[in-house]
Amino acid sequence: MTTVRPSEPPPSPQHASEFVTVTRIVHPPAVDIGLSVSPEATVEQVAAALASMPASAVFAEHFGDVDVTLVFRETASSGD
């Protein structure tokens, strides 16, 4: 998973398939993990991307309509 600090350029996804990407952005004390899904994504691709994320991350918000990004958040207390 790609980790980005606020002063760094935009992240490039670490876990990616053609239709699913996972991007991690650090903004202390939290870490946001974005799961972006295109309509053509399979359950297998989404499940693999979710499996690459920390189990302690909590769903925080979402963006999009057809192409969707789900944002999960880790806090310093939930580990990294």
Angle at 45 between CA 30 and CA 37, to 5 degrees: 60
What is the per-residue pLDDT across 17-57, written as a single tens digit (0 to 9) for each?
899 999 999 888 999 999 999 999 999 999 999 999 999 99
Give the span between the Cα atoms of 51 and 8, in whole angstroms.
26
Mean pLDDT computed over 50-68: 95
- 80 falls in which pLDDT band (50, 70, 90)? very low
pLDDT value at position 16?
Answer: 77
Domain parsing of the chain, residue ranges: 15-78
Ramachandran sector of residue 22 (left: φ over 0; alpha: ψ -120 to 50; beta: rest) = beta
Looking at residue 55, the DSSP 8-state letter turns out to be T
Determine if the pTM surpasses 0.85: no
